[in-house]
Structure 1
Amino acid sequence: MLKQNRQKKALKFGSIKPSKISALSSGLNRRAFLRNSSATFLVASLAACKPNMKVDDTKIIKSEEKSGHHPTDDIFKFSKEEENNLLQVQEHLFPKDGDGPSASDVNSFAYLEWALTDPDNASDGDGDFIKKGVGWLDGLAKQTQGDIFLKLSFEQQDKVLRQISKSSTGENWMSIIIYYIMEALLFDPIYGGNPDGIGWKWLEHQPGFPAPDSESLYRKYY
């Protein structure tokens, strides 16, 4: 779905405005850009590319029952159904296509659950927004394809995701999922993603020394 001509030159990172990134079309340059950029530059630039939820998105979340998760918990837990849906969406957005690691290869779902406990991410409402999006996903799948998302063929799932991306809220939902896949790809393995530095190896990046340990995690400095 996201596999496109990776020989095209990617846009310069600083010219990409977070609110304008297309979750589906971003794949056209994402791998090409990542492959031709240094991991250090990518990590430094990543925070500037976090999609911002629009006011309407925030209102939707605040009008619904919250998940009950507290940012000091060890992990943000999705239900098994939510997990399975998100795993499938992640693979659509960052697939195993022979050009670098996939979403599952970089352990993006486990990283996502950990990252959503970050106080800043929790304050942004990311976890509840992602949870809510799974409901939209199934609702649209039933409406347009006649069954829940997980029971659809890959091609039908692709159609549902493309339809979701046509709304600003749906686009934001998929963009925030991509954002956390990028973190899983680029961050130190101690944070749960990038196992054995698979993302770094793909990018031919030599990580800094010393590597963080349990006593020097970034959250220690909040």
Structure 2
Amino acid sequence: MNRREALFSLGTIAASLAVAPSLSAAELKGVPHETQLSDDHMPKPAVRTGGFLVLTVLERKTLGAVYDRLLPADEYGPSATQAGCLEFIDSQLAGDYGSGKALYLEGPISPENEMKLMGTPQFLATPLVRYRVGLTALQRYAEKNFGKAFVELTNEQIDTLLTQLEAGTISLGSDIDSKGFFELLLQNVREGYLSDPVYGGNRDMAGWKMIGFPGARYDYRPYIDRRGENLSLIPVSLIPAD
């Protein structure tokens, strides 16, 4: 497993912007006030209570071991846990994302039809429940097959297990889609590493600095015609400045 493979596609997208055709900026005027974003569409900062909201100590240890193999520390940046990905996902699982507010969670379930129409399996469990069940299953699998806790496995053993999860060749139980669980973990660790720090992850904007993303700047018009140039812009977060 490539140490930065989880972020490669996103880095490629960012790099492609340097060779895009030149564009000219235009100012939009006369926008009616009715188009303003309402409060429920504004970014909601991560809940900051000084502790974790839903993940237990064991769940954090197991998930941290997984996340840090998907995005380990190297010369390009910190590991997933060092960048705050656990805090990010804990906050998300404690809110609407964890409860599946935006998901259709009613039956009937038809796996074959869902794969044919959507290309992905259908899950009736909420993301929080999927995390709880999946992390418990990983712990149980490690104890049964290696005789020790998941966090005590070597990096090589965890990598092998994750590779099997990704391929769907390992069974964590009849109620768990192994491949789907891996994809959930990978999606969320990417989000935690590259989302705005206001959501709890991407600590010190390490993910943005790694891929050269300048962040949530108000106005890019001074730079839009400067293609193929290293602008050396310091990333800016949605977190209000002191």
Q: TM-score, normalised by structure 2?
A: 0.57
Amino acid at match of 1:144: N
Name the SS of the counterpart of 1:38 in structure 2.
helix
Matching residue of 1:104: 81
Q: CA-to-partner distance for each residue in 1:135-170, whole Å, 9 max, x for gaps?
A: 111221122222221222222233333333443812
Q: CA-to-partner distance for each residue in 1:43-80, whole Å, 9 max, x for gaps?
A: xxxxxxxxxxxxxxxxxxxxxxxxxxxxx9x8641111
Is 2:225 the partner of 1:199? no
Amino acid at match of 1:187: S
Q: CA-to-partner distance for each residue in 1:92-137, whole Å, 9 max, x for gaps?
A: 1111233444212321000010111331442251111011111111
Any residues of structure 2 matched to 1:19-38 within 5 Å, and which?
28=5, 30-38=6-14
Paired residues in the alignment total 159
Any residues of structure 2 matched to 1:1-222 within 5 Å, and which?
1-3=1-3, 28=5, 30-38=6-14, 76-123=53-100, 124=103, 125-167=126-168, 169-210=177-218, 212-213=238-239
Unaligned regions of 5+ residues in structure 1, if any? Answer: 4-26, 42-71, 215-222
Q: Distance in 2 between matches of 1:114 and 1:38?
A: 27
Contact conserved, 1:76 with 1:127, CA < 8 A, in 2?
no
Contact conserved, 2:88 with 2:192, CA < 8 A, in 1?
yes
Unaligned regions of 5+ residues in structure 2, if any? Answer: 18-46, 104-125, 169-175, 219-236
Q: TM-score, normalised by structure 1?
A: 0.61
Shift of 1:171: 1.8
Q: Residues 156, 110 of structure 1: CA spacing in aligned structure 2 closer, same or farther, 3 A cutoff?
A: same
Contact conserved, 2:84 with 2:201, CA < 8 A, in 1?
yes
Name the SS of the counterpart of 2:9 in structure 1.
helix
Contact conserved, 2:93 with 2:128, CA < 8 A, in 1?
yes
Q: CA-to-partner distance for each residue in 1:17-36, whole Å, 9 max, x for gaps?
A: xxxxxxxxxx64x3332323
Amino acid at match of 1:212: L
Q: Residues 76, 173 of structure 1: CA spacing in aligned structure 2 closer, same or farther, 3 A cutoff?
A: farther
Whose radius of gyration is greater, 1 or 2? 2
Q: Hey, which of these two has a bigger chunk of helix by percent?
A: 1
